[in-house]
Amino acid sequence: MKANNSIIQLLLKGLSLSKSEIEITEPLFQKVFYEKGALLLRTNDIVNYQYYTLEGCLRSFYLDKYGKEHTLQFAIRDWWISDYTGFFSDSKAILNIEVIEDAILYRISKENKERLYSKIPKIESFFRKKLENAFAAFQKRILANISQTATERYLNFINTYPDIEKSVKNYHIASYLGITTESLSRIRKEISMS
Amino acid sequence: MKANNSIIQLLLKGLSLSKSEIEITEPLFQKVFYEKGALLLRTNDIVNYQYYTLEGCLRSFYLDKYGKEHTLQFAIRDWWISDYTGFFSDSKAILNIEVIEDAILYRISKENKERLYSKIPKIESFFRKKLENAFAAFQKRILANISQTATERYLNFINTYPDIEKSVKNYHIASYLGITTESLSRIRKEISMS
DNA sequence: TTAGAAAATTGATGTATGATAATAAAGTCT
DNA sequence: AGACTTTATTATCATACATCAATTTTCTAA
């Protein structure tokens, strides 16, 4: 692909890169396809990649000791996803990542990302800012979890992520909110009646 | 203070800086003292600073619409604290930051931090790594909130942060765990009997 | 188009945690 | 030490959400 029409400009949107910088960057990303149901990552795997979602829908979830799934994050178009704990600290995966809708992704390895940071420092700034935003979102999520009722969290979720709601099952949303699918069903009924 | 014995080497521990880099860095931090009970930040304030705790204990908390406090983070010796959502995105504070034990802090402003990043890129890497670790900790906290019982979260807290437990009241811990102080009291009783 | 599978809902009942109020214990100040 | 304040505990009752089991609705694929 020609540098002046590179996918990189989508992945690193907002960053203005020279033609030569794009040529350095582009080969460090790999385009990959996955079908619905595929598992990109399993607990205890080495976390090699961070993924950019071009199309489709993914989710990361934690499998607890009782075999229950707890969704940490969804990713739709233009979202990044990984098991960041493992990706950042070179420890093994705590999470699983599952494809919810057939997906076209770009992935970058840890090593290539560090390489990119040292070659093009403004890419480090770019990802730092992404991380700052994700951090802020996590902070809000923690506060919501400890201060709001399930109903409030659900309303907040569908307002904040209307596009995600379309792509995922209610039981995924329930597991994201930290409640059972039965409870979510009752909450939805309550809301529809009021 | 002489560069070869600078407080900066404590704040930026793990980073090896030249004498001249330390001389650039040091004036951008300000040493400040606060007494127990002081509020460093209130909801809706502009978030100007990030704080490094040299001594004492702080906490950040969210005040909900019912007037209840929900602790997001504690900070003791060698921890950084701020309202990162506001600090990173130039939005107003969601959190309050309160001094729990008389504190000696070093603070840096947003502007000076950005200045530092552009002058000394490895400081950007240093803070990026700090942020990555904090992000991973938040991720674990979210998973704990949606997958564990209050008892499990309490046991996990006192194991992970034994030093913090010494400095804070039980009602602070309860508000961090997302439960009432009465529930925590019952949990503690259960634990002591088993 | 219909059969089977997957997802969502509903009902009955259980349990962890919340709310309120009272009391006890620990800390602080003169 | 004694008085007062702050913090922690206990008891009773209320409630949000979980669990288990059954049923209905929606989706999918031959």
Nucleotide nearest to B190 (CA to C1'): D9
In order of A138, A174, B46, the CA distances from A167 in angstroms are 21, 14, 37
Phi, psi dihedral angles at A17 (to 5 degrees): -115, 145
Q: What confidence score (pLDDT) does residue A147 get? A: 93
Contact between B10 and B29 under an 8 Å Cβ cutoff? The reply is no
- pLDDT tens-place string over residues B162-185: 999 999 999 999 999 999 999 999
Q: Would you list the domain boundaries of chain A?
A: 3-120
> At CB < 8 Å, which residues of chain B contact A?
62, 64, 68, 70, 72, 84-85, 88-89, 94, 117, 121, 124-125, 127-129, 131-136, 138-143, 145-147, 175-178
- pLDDT tens-place string over residues B114-165: 999 999 999 999 999 999 999 999 999 999 998 999 999 999 999 999 999 9
- pLDDT tens-place string over residues B64-120: 989 999 999 999 999 999 999 999 998 999 999 999 999 999 999 999 999 999 999
Distance between CA atoms of residues B59 and B39, nearest Å = 10
The C1' atom of D25 and the CA atom of B66 lie apart, in whole Å, by 39
Burial pattern A9-46, b for ≥16 Cβ within 10 A else e, equals: bebbeebebeeebbebbbebbeeeebeeeeebbeeebe
Contact between B100 and B36 under an 8 Å Cβ cutoff? The reply is yes
Q: What confidence score (pLDDT) does residue B4 get? A: 67
Q: What confidence score (pLDDT) does residue A160 get? A: 95
Q: Which residues contact A48 (CB under 8 A, 6 or more apart)?
A: A109, A110
Closest residue (CA) to C1' of nucleotide D20 is A182
CATH number for the domain formed by residue range(s) B3-120? 2.60.120.10
Q: Is the pLDDT of residue B3 over 70?
A: no
Helix (H, G, I), strand (E, B) or coil at B111: helix
Q: Is the pLDDT of residue B2 over 90?
A: no
Contact between A143 and B96 under an 8 Å Cβ cutoff? The reply is no
Tokens standing for B187? 């949990």
The rounded radius of gyration (Å) of the Cα atoms in chain A is: 18
Contact between B72 and B60 under an 8 Å Cβ cutoff? The reply is yes
To test the contact with chain B by mutation, choose from A71, A135, A149 the residue with the greatest count of B C-beta atoms within 10 A, namely: A135
Chains A, B: CB pairs < 8 Å: 106
Contact between B57 and B163 under an 8 Å Cβ cutoff? The reply is no
State which residue of chain B sits closest to A138, comparing Cα positions.
Answer: B138
Residues in A closer than 8 angstroms to B62, CB to CB, are 143, 147
Q: Which residues contact B149 (CB under 8 A, 6 or more apart)?
A: none
Residues of chain A with pLDDT under 50: none
Residues in A closer than 8 angstroms to B65, CB to CB, are none
Question: Which residue has tokens 């099952």?
Answer: A169
Contact between A177 and A150 under an 8 Å Cβ cutoff? The reply is yes
End-to-end Cα separation, chain B, in angstroms: 53
Q: Report CB contact under 8 Å: A138, B138.
A: yes
State which residue of chain A sits closest to B140, comparing Cα positions.
Answer: A85
Burial class (CB in 10 A: 0-12, 13-18, 19+), B26: middle
Q: In angstroms, how far apart are the furthest CA atoms of chain A? A: 59
Contact between A48 and A111 under an 8 Å Cβ cutoff? The reply is no
The C1' atom of D22 and the CA atom of A184 lie apart, in whole Å, by 18
Phi, psi dihedral angles at B69 (to 5 degrees): -100, 135
